[in-house]
Chain A
Amino acid sequence: MKQKLILIGNGMAGVRTLEELLKLTPDLYDITVYGSEPYPNYNRIMLSPVLAGDKTVDEIVLNDLDWYKDNGIELISGDPVIEIDRNKREIKTQSGAINSYDRLLIATGSNPFMIPIPGADKQGVIGFRDIHDVETMLGAAKDYQNAVVIGGGLLGLEAANGLQKNGMNVTVVHLLDSLMERQLDKPAATLLQQSLIDKGLQFKMQAQTSAILGEQRVEAVEFADGSRIEADLVVMAVGIRPNIELAQSAGIHCERGILVNDTMQTFDPRVYAVGECVQHRGSCYGLVAPLFEQAKVCANHLANYGIARYQGSVTSTKLKVTGIDLFSAGDFNEADGDETLVFQDPAQGVYKKLVLTDNRIKGAVLYGDTLDGSWYFQLMREGTSIADFRQSILFGQHDLGDAGHGDSKVAALADSAEICGCNGVCKGEIVDAITKQGLFTLDEVRAHTKASSSCGSCTGLVESLLASTVGEGYDAAPSKKGMCKCTEHSHDEVIRGIQQQPLKDMRSVFEFFDWKTEDGCASCRPALNYYLLANWPDDYQDDAQSRFINERAHGNIQKDGTYSVVPRMFGGLCTADELRAIADVSDKYNVPEMKVTGGQRIDLFGVKKEDLPAMWKDLADAGFVSGHAYGKALRTVKTCAGQNWCRFGTQNSTGLGVKLEQLTWGSWMPHKFKMAVSGCPRNCAEATIKDFGVVCVDSGYELHVGGNGGIKVRITDLLCKVETEEEVLEYSGAFIQKYREEGHYLERTAPWVERVGLTSIKQVIVDDPVQRKALFERFKHSQQYAQVDPWAARAEGTAAHEFSTIRIA
């Protein structure tokens, strides 16, 4: 017989817990849900847009009644639970019905705090909490004229905006002299107040409400200074109180909220609690993102997995008032030793402030331009040092601007504006999918629309769209990101596990980290194969079936299923004989198109897979090895004309390019890796947009790292300057090895350098000769195994099955 789970409270946190639970174990429990409102679960965050007329009630329903039915969940609404008997493990409802439980989940949410002043019980005085309140407000807007909203916080301003859009004459009353004082500093609050005044709202600041006047219905609000404002409707939005009466009456330990531990259990281990009614490590949360994090942890324990822990949340806020962009996160008050970065453009109505402690973001306030809010929030939660880019951080994460997306505010874009250039997805389609399918995460949007699922350059835009469409319900990327859907462990955790446990084959990784799938997936398997290979070059047996087809077939698959072949030309040099050999091969295998690549070699397109081994043999006979143009590997070392011919050349730059490529070819990397050597600062080999670039100067060699010419152009950072070729080789090998050991799979050096910080790389490669030499030695050791030409091996019969079709006798 199944165990019985009872959920008290049919709101977002409780039902989200059930959703997470059903994902883990669909059949563990018989589930009954008691809700006090006569609606299925809806998105409470979106009540403001409903009030403002931007959404309908139907549009904000998260789980319709069919969802409960389809999942075998009994929903009892309108008969609230009034008693919990923990000894008998039973609950009793208002109508006297009794139901027993094995585990109980309390998610009773919170109530609006009603200020205890004379007249607060008059008709027309309400909170702003549920659909019923919204209906009351909409009704009042039809019949009455004047509304007063008490409370100039997030909720109060959203209510005021909604009432005003419904034609009421609205005054916001606030106790302090600055709006949203918990989220905004003074300058941002001033900007906000001004734009709300421009929209037609009135304000009475520093005003203490003393009484509500009227016969049966409210007629006016009176203040401590004796002044009065006429009012037909009063909305109290001064805060919420966790709804703990039921839990308290059952003897469950409560303070401000129901006390829970890191596994979301109350003092009675059979009773769990999530959402606004709980108090965790001293904090009560009223925003949705933390509730969802709690739901995930709670579900994990209800499912008997027992591995998740909730450790509290860092929260961010966005104001959902059309036409006002506002973002706030963390603590924006400066303490001793903190620093503040401010960007202010009053003409444009833009204000950005970041508070830093030790070069790490502690709080952020953005007004007018909030596009980078999610980026700052991520930097804040991950505790990333911004030392290396603090001079430009206020201008935002520049990749948004590079791929032709411009700096337009996403909310202002037309529905027909293209967001994802790779897959041709427009804003309207994405917003549609988010609202109709009830999407909350970037992954969900990727799956349903394909937006941001290819090159990723529009990820920031899609995240902004998510944030502006679903409000705070948007699951910003969790601070710890699982590698893929097969695991919750991050790349860093898995890399550490492989290095330290140690884990030397894929099965061990799956077992140690408790992978959720039997065989992993097309996303994690190539990553694990790389990590194992990079860390255990002499022990690990490369797994062809875990490689993407390009690396399995050692050629680039083209859209018609044929392959391309790029032989290696060290340093871009070639001879007439070599070119003749390529021409002969091209004729012999009917290559339909040849092209000179950007990496200074020749690409032969349209080769049938069956022809590859024979073609490689002919190329090997002419002295060529694989160019690895298909791999997450060392690609090319580009060179310029060089000192032999160029009147400006210094050093033997071309020769150095050849030496570098001889040292590094064949090595597998987290992503593709490109190098270049220029013979003078004119930099004809474009060394400053490569992963590792060398610029020769008369006195030695400048070493540049972390450049990229792709999706997001990034100019290299100068690592250091050295004096000899030997040093260039050693530094490059050490840099590569550090990237190989620390980079996340599919992370180019540009984002890697930004993630770990140039300073930390310099400390090891430049300042510490012992570590540098050790890295270089490890690189050379691994190269013993990597520098075996895969083409020659396959020409001689390795992996023959890969290249032959089945013949029917």
Chain B
Amino acid sequence: MNQWTELLKMDDIPQLGARVLRTDTMDIAVFRTAQDEIFALQDKCPHKGGPLSQGIVHDNTVTCPLHNWKIDLNSGEALAPDVGCSHRFPIKVENGVVYIQLAVESAVA
């Protein structure tokens, strides 16, 4: 059951920035790159739980605001030599609108 949930217009996310989706169980960070690619990760750095949505986005990477771990937006994996992974969620853009799949079991990294 891969249900797509409508989130917001892509233009409501700043380029090289992020917005936060608050669900009952967790916060999810929705990122937009300079090339208008969209990614969604649990808003929690694998290091000390810092809010990734508040970090600086560059290329396809976000730098966590707490201790500067760099997380690959595509995979959710920390860049070497750090090790760890933030949960990622399937996300897509259609006609300028962003959709996400929230069913956790369908979002295996």
- Is B56 within 8 A of A522, CB to CB? yes
- Is A806 within 8 A of B56, CB to CB? no
- Is B15 within 8 A of A545, CB to CB? yes
CA distance A774 to B83 in the complex (A): 52
- Contacts A518-B34, A545-B14, A809-B6 given: A553-B59 contact, CB under 8 Å? no
- Contacts A519-B58, A519-B59, A809-B6 given: A549-B20 contact, CB under 8 Å? no
Binary per-residue interface labels of chain A (500-542) against chain B in the complex, 1 for a CB within 8 Å, 0 otherwise: 0000000000000000011111100110000000000000000
- Is B54 within 8 A of A549, CB to CB? yes
B36 within 8 A of A: no
Binary per-residue interface labels of chain B (26-69) against chain A in the complex, 1 for a CB within 8 Å, 0 otherwise: 01001001100000000000001011001111110101011110
Determine the residue in chain A with the shortest Cβ distance to B27: A805
User: What is the size, in residues, of chain A's interface with B at 8 Å between Cβ atoms?
Assistant: 28
- Is B66 within 8 A of A559, CB to CB? yes
Chain B: minimal CB distance from A613 (Å): 15
Chain A: minimal CB distance from B56 (Å): 4
A453 within 8 A of B: yes
Chain B residues with Cβ under 8 A from A544's Cβ? 14, 17
Chain B residues with Cβ under 8 A from A805's Cβ? 19-22, 27
Query: Size class of B's contact patch?
Result: 35 or more
B2 within 8 A of A: no
Q: Which of B17, B19, B51, B68 contacts A561 (CB 8 A)?
A: B51
CA distance A448 to B79 in the complex (A): 11
B8 within 8 A of A: yes
- Is A519 within 8 A of B16, CB to CB? yes
Chain B residues with Cβ under 8 A from A448's Cβ? 81
CA distance A561 to B54 in the complex (A): 9
Determine the residue in chain A with the shortest Cβ distance to B68: A522
Chain A: minimal CB distance from B77 (Å): 15
CA distance A806 to B50 in the complex (A): 19
Which of B5, B6, B15, B58 is most buried by chain A, counting CB atoms within 10 A of its CB? B58
CA distance A552 to B8 in the complex (A): 22
A801 within 8 A of B: yes
- Contacts A522-B68, A561-B50 given: A545-B20 contact, CB under 8 Å? no
Which of A447, A453, A522, A809 is most buried by chain B, counting CB atoms within 10 A of its CB? A522
- Is A526 within 8 A of B20, CB to CB? no
- Is A806 within 8 A of B57, CB to CB? no
CA distance A526 to B68 in the complex (A): 14
Chain A residues with Cβ under 8 A from B67's Cβ? 454
Determine the residue in chain B with the shortest Cβ distance to A486: B58
Chain A residues with Cβ under 8 A from B6's Cβ? 808-809
Q: Which of A517, A546, A553, A559 contacts B56 (CB 8 A)?
A: A546
- Contacts A549-B65, A806-B7 given: A519-B55 contact, CB under 8 Å? no
A557 within 8 A of B: yes
A310 within 8 A of B: no
CA distance A517 to B70 in the complex (A): 15
Chain A: minimal CB distance from B27 (Å): 8
CA distance A553 to B65 in the complex (A): 12
CA distance A454 to B63 in the complex (A): 15
CA distance A806 to B12 in the complex (A): 10
- Is A557 within 8 A of B54, CB to CB? yes
Determine the residue in chain A with the shortest Cβ distance to B19: A806
- Contacts A522-B68, A544-B14, A806-B30 given: A549-B55 contact, CB under 8 Å? yes
A548 within 8 A of B: yes
Residues from 534 to 589 in A contacting B, C-beta threshold 8 Å:
544-546, 548-549, 552-553, 557, 559, 561
Chain B residues with Cβ under 8 A from A808's Cβ? 5-7, 21, 23
Residues from 139 to 170 in A contacting B, C-beta threshold 8 Å:
none
CA distance A801 to B13 in the complex (A): 8
- Is A526 within 8 A of B21, CB to CB? no
- Contacts A545-B17, A549-B54, A559-B48 given: A453-B30 contact, CB under 8 Å? no
CA distance A518 to B60 in the complex (A): 10
Determine the residue in chain A with the shortest Cβ distance to B6: A809
- Is B58 within 8 A of A521, CB to CB? yes
Determine the residue in chain A with the shortest Cβ distance to B51: A561
Chain B: minimal CB distance from A404 (Å): 21
- Is B63 within 8 A of A521, CB to CB? yes
Determine the residue in chain B with the shortest Cβ distance to A550: B65
- Is A519 within 8 A of B34, CB to CB? yes
Residues from 761 to 809 in A contacting B, C-beta threshold 8 Å:
801, 805-806, 808-809
CA distance A809 to B33 in the complex (A): 25
Chain A: minimal CB distance from B76 (Å): 18
- Is A545 within 8 A of B57, CB to CB? yes
Residues from 593 to 639 in A contacting B, C-beta threshold 8 Å:
none
- Is B57 within 8 A of A801, CB to CB? no
Chain B: minimal CB distance from A439 (Å): 10
Chain A: minimal CB distance from B19 (Å): 5
A-B pairs, top 3 by smallest CB distance, nearest first, are: A522-B63, A522-B56, A549-B54
Q: A519-B16, A549-B54, A806-B21 are in contact. List 15 more A-B contacts (CB 8 A).
A: A518-B58, A522-B63, A526-B56, A548-B65, A549-B56, A557-B54, A557-B65, A801-B13, A805-B19, A805-B21, A806-B20, A806-B22, A808-B6, A808-B23, A809-B6
In the complex, 7 of the A-B residue pairs with CB atoms within 8 angstroms, ordered by the A residue number, are A519-B59, A521-B61, A521-B63, A522-B68, A546-B16, A549-B55, A561-B50
